A and B are shown apart, each in its own frame.
Chain A
Amino acid sequence: MTRNPLVGELPFPEAARRELSREQLRRNLRSATHTIRDKRARMVAEVPDWEELRVAGSAIKADVLARLPELLTRFEAAATAAGARVHWARDAAEACAIVTRLVRETGTDEVVKVKSMATQEIGLNEALEAAGITALETDLAELIVQLADDTPSHILVPAIHYNRSEIRDIFRERMAGTDPDLTDDPRALAEAARRYLRERFLSAKVAVSGANFAVADTGTLVVLESEGNGRMCLTLPETLISVVGIEKLVPTFADLEVFLQLLPRSSTGERMNPYTSMWTGVTSGDGPQDVHIVLVDNGRTATLADEVGRQALHCIRCSACLNVCPVYERVGGHAYGSVYPGPIGAVLTPQLTGVAANRSLPFASTLCGACFDVCPVRIDIPQVLVHLRQQAVDERRGHPSAERTAMRAATWIMSAGRRYTRVLRIARRATRPLAALLRRRTVRRLPWPLSAWTAERDAPLPAGESFRDWWARSREGS
């Protein structure tokens, strides 16, 4: 069994430390996140009704969740009537088994894939490989990551941790038929990938995709992309299998008017992405004639049960929150250990897996709030982070914890004015000799656990007179 695509090998702080030491990675990340964030800001600024679109987008998604059984069955009926076959999967293993069976039924052992978070989440490529089926990623960045036997580090630009010469080396070593004199010019690299993939597109019998949206009323699926690899996969093969999370629904086709404005500008910072494909079941003489849709739960219903946390299911995978997050910017996607990194990953991943499997992720944020400001569907990520921190703490009640003891002591002290005043005095008196000795009000080293603070920062010592003592001295007598 390969590793769970939603659970990392190390807790976040340790994985983050490992990633922080990679200088090239940090430079790449900084430049990439700042470039996309600036583009996004420019594109959003030119939309006069952006805030109204965000409010509508959020409300449509809340409405979808509230009516999910009704909308799912409506979607199933509409898609089926249009010639698609709809399958349901409770978890990753069931979804992979369904896709594997469908591919086998076509008699082929090779599929082309459109970039899809859902198929990464369920570990589909690994499952297909175990069944003797080769899955070829066709998005340029996903292809790079797949050839390098690596995992994506960003939702939108998964190979952002590689620079051009590294990509050239990966192509030369691992992409069959690559010219040994290939340069690291991005144009030449893109051309090499085009040539490598083209014959495979033109001969592919089966494609696997995800979907950005699924329209309940009509049974329509929608995929947004840039390179045309999506169109190749969605149009040329005979069989198309789309793996879709149950939260991807929108009620009506008209609702796309909101999301097709929100998503491209938030995601790539474009007015519109180069290609958007919409298809409804089977169209005679145009595109795949054998069309399947696999609806996947895999932790979504558990997320839905949490009244605060369920807003994470509004996510449309734009990755705007990654690009503004100061934590993501410094550590990149691998530190999160999940296919969903960054702020949205820190709230979505622990809910999909259960908090016990990802206890450190809700703490991987300063709660600075930049993510909420850019979220096109107004997910209050800081609120959900705090909510999940509480679950992470509650889940460990009964285990001894220095932190809990300290928190409880602080509350006990601060629950009575006199007790608090007394403790302030003790703190000042106890540190006074130290301040006198150092002749300054800062210290350079504190004992554990505050030693983590003084590793890179000086710490302040209490003032000579607390505010309340000053107030009592200067006011009470008058």
Chain B
Amino acid sequence: MDARTEILDRIRSALGNGAAPPPVPRDYLRTAECADPVELLTERLADYRATVRHCGPGELAATLAAVLADDPRLAVPYDLPGEWLTGYRGEVARDGDPAPLTVAELDDASAVLTGCAIAIATTGTIVLDAGPAQGRRALTLVPDHHVCVVRTDQIVAGVPDAVAALDPRRPLTWISGPSATSDIELNRVEGVHGPRRLDVVLVR
């Protein structure tokens, strides 16, 4: 008998003629209450030691230029809006335009600039789903500095709101602050393998 058949048989015999599956009580909050999502997201991101900047749509290019001032080489997804980069003076490598950047090229970039799918205020989380202005997963992983643009209309209150808004068929990366470890005597050290700096620019 093959393993699949045998395991399924074992499960059926373990369950016997078991009763119908029990109902799942869902009395938890399906939509989080949140008076000021922008303020909460800002506060929660700062808790993770991510840097947050606020700006209006007209100030975005200048704000990004300031955030990226020390980064000589910037990786961006092929569909990043051109107007985001009008103030940036360094070298720009577009992933997938014309070809995907190699791992070495990604490693060579000092920063990466993307948008996001949504952001979760309660947990200070940014979710990327490989949609517009986000690119593939490796792009936001290898460079050491991630700058992420979040529009305030992309902010949802809580985790259930986020799960409801996302499409599981897309590769999803939930990011809550810079990479971190607490493996040495529980001392938190920011920055191990993922980007060591996370800067979020919130656009009204």
A56-B28, A253-B163, A278-B172 as given contacts; A69 in contact with B8, CB under 8 Å = yes
Total cross-chain contacts (CB, 8 A): 240
User: Does chain B have a CB within 8 A of A85?
Assistant: no
Q: Which of A256-264, A336-344, A431-439, A464-472 contacts B (4 or more CB under 8 A)?
A: A256-264
Select which of A49, A229, A234, A297 is within 8 A of B10 by beta carbon. A297
Interface residue? A140 (CB, 8 A): yes
Instruction: List A contacts of B191 (CB < 8 A).
Output: 190, 194
| Interface size band for B | 35 or more
| Residues of B with C-beta under 8 A to A253 | 163, 166, 168
Q: Are A215 and B168 in contact (CB under 8 A)?
A: yes
- The reply to whether the CB of B103 lies closer than 8 angstroms to some CB of chain A is yes
Question: With A193-B192, A278-B171, A285-B100 known to touch, is A186 a contact of B29 (CB < 8 Å)?
Answer: no
* Residues of A47-85 contacting chain B, CB below 8 A: 48-49, 52-53, 55-56, 59-60, 62-63, 65-69, 72-73, 82
Q: Which residue of B lies closest to A286 (CB)?
A: B136
Residues of B within 8 A of A (CB): 2-4, 6-8, 10-15, 18-30, 44, 47-48, 96, 100, 103-104, 107, 120, 122-125, 130, 136-138, 141-142, 159-160, 162-164, 166, 168-187, 189, 191-195
Size of interface on A: residues with Cβ below 8 Å to B: 94
Chain A residues proximal to chain B, CB less than 8 Å? 28, 31-32, 35-36, 48-49, 52-53, 55-56, 59-60, 62-63, 65-69, 72-73, 82, 87-90, 94, 138-141, 144, 157-160, 163-164, 167, 186-187, 189-190, 193-194, 197-198, 201-202, 215, 218, 220, 226-229, 231-232, 234-236, 246, 253-254, 256-258, 260-261, 264, 268, 270-280, 283, 285-287, 295, 297, 301-302, 304-305, 310
Cα distance A160–B58 in the bound complex, in angstroms: 50
Query: Is B194 a contact of A227 with CB atoms below 8 Å?
Result: yes
- On whether the beta carbons of B7 and A246 are closer than 8 Å, the reply is yes
Query: Which residue from B23, B28, B136 sits with its C-beta under 8 Å from A53?
Result: B28
18 A–B contacts, CB within 8 A, in A order? A59-B23, A89-B3, A138-B193, A144-B183, A160-B186, A226-B179, A228-B193, A228-B194, A231-B194, A272-B125, A272-B174, A274-B194, A275-B173, A280-B169, A286-B136, A287-B136, A302-B10, A305-B13
Complex interface: chain B residues within 8 A of A301 (CB) = 7, 10-11, 14
Contact, CB under 8 Å: B186 / A32 = yes
Known: A220-B168, A274-B194. A190 touches B14 (CB 8 A): no
Min CB distance B122 to A, Å, is 7
- Contact check: which of A193, A278, A304 meets B15 at CB < 8 Å? A304
Known: A194-B193, A287-B171. A56 touches B25 (CB 8 A): yes
Other than the given A62-B21, A186-B185, A228-B193, 15 more pairs (CB < 8 A) read: A48-B29, A56-B28, A63-B22, A63-B24, A72-B11, A157-B186, A201-B193, A232-B194, A261-B159, A272-B176, A275-B175, A277-B174, A279-B171, A280-B169, A301-B7
Contact assessment for A90 and B7 in the assembled complex, using a CB-CB cutoff below 8 Å: yes
Which chain A residues lie closer than 8 Å to B141 at the CB level?
Answer: 228, 231-232, 235-236
Q: Give 6 closest A-B pairs by Cβ, nearest first.
A: A228-B194, A228-B193, A305-B14, A301-B10, A228-B179, A276-B174
A88 touches B194 (CB 8 A): no
**A276 contacts B11, C-beta separation under 8 Å:** no
Q: Is the CB of A256 within 8 A of B22?
A: no
Q: Does the CB pair A226–B182 fall under 8 Å?
A: yes
Secondary structure dominating the interface of A: helix
Q: Across the interface, do A63 and B21 meet the contact criterion of CB distance under 8 Å?
A: yes
Cβ–Cβ contact A274 & B4, under 8 A? no
Q: How far is the CA of A167 from the CA of B181 in the complex (A)?
A: 14
Q: A52-B27, A190-B192, A302-B14 are in contact. Are A283 and B171 (CB under 8 A)?
A: yes
Which residues of A lie under 8 Å from residue B104 when comparing CB positions?
202
Judging by beta carbons under 8 Å apart, are B27 and A227 in contact? Answer: no
Q: Which residue of A lies closest to B26 (CB)?
A: A56
Contact indicator A271/B176 (Cβ below 8 Å): yes
- Residues in A whose Cβ lies below 8 Å from that of B7: 72, 88, 90, 246, 295, 297, 301
| A235 to B8 Cα, complex, angstroms | 31
Q: In this complex, what residue of A is CB-closest to B187? A: A186
Residues of A within 8 A of B180 (CB): 226-227, 274
Chain B residues near A257 (CB-CB < 8 A): 30, 159-160, 162-164
- Taking CB as reference atom, which chain B residue is nearest A251? B24
Residues from chain B with Cβ under 8 Å of A226 in the complex? 179-182, 192
Report the minimum CB–CB distance from B133 to chain A (whole Å).
15
Closest to A61 in B: B24
With contact pairs A36-B186, A144-B183, A189-B184 given, residues A277 and B173 touching in the complex (Cβ less than 8 Å) = yes
B97 to A: closest C-beta gap in Å? 13
